Structure 1
């Protein structure tokens, strides 16, 4: 999975886990709501500064937004 897709999935999941709208997250991160939407759809790549703003708004480490989930395999 590409890093843009990882960010998109993590951003959407973490935002929803916190019951935040895209608008509220954008407000907290001081970015535009349409940009949050585009990031969640994987349309744009985020700069490290934007990743940091989003992480702070979500109360997490920036690396959490970029960490690919590990799927268990049937061993």
Structure 2
């Protein structure tokens, strides 16, 4: 059986897909979340273990619930 991607990688992929779906550049998305662009890049690459407050900011910026953000992880 193939190894399932790490939760950080899956979360990052989900954030990137939703961000792009909504037409945000990484820079404008980070600004809207009040996060640094390099931090958002690290999230999307699965390099960051994201704080719950930041997960909430990401969901709010995307206009979705935390449950929707976590769907499929």
Unmatched runs of 5 consecutive residues or more in structure 2: none
Which of 48, 67, 72 is 1:63 aligned to? 67
Counterpart of 2:13 in structure 1 is: 9
Unmatched runs of 5 consecutive residues or more in structure 1: 70-75
Distance 2:68 2:50 in 1: 14
> Runs ≥4 in structure 1, deviation > 3 angstroms?
none
Work out which of the two has the higher radius of gyration on C-alpha atoms and give 1 or 2. 1
Superposition TM-score, scaled by structure 1 size: 0.83
| Paired residue total | 69
Alignment pair present for 1:51 and 2:17: no
User: Deviation per CA, 1:14-55, whole angstroms, max 9, x where unpaired?
Assistant: 000001001111111101010000000001110111000001
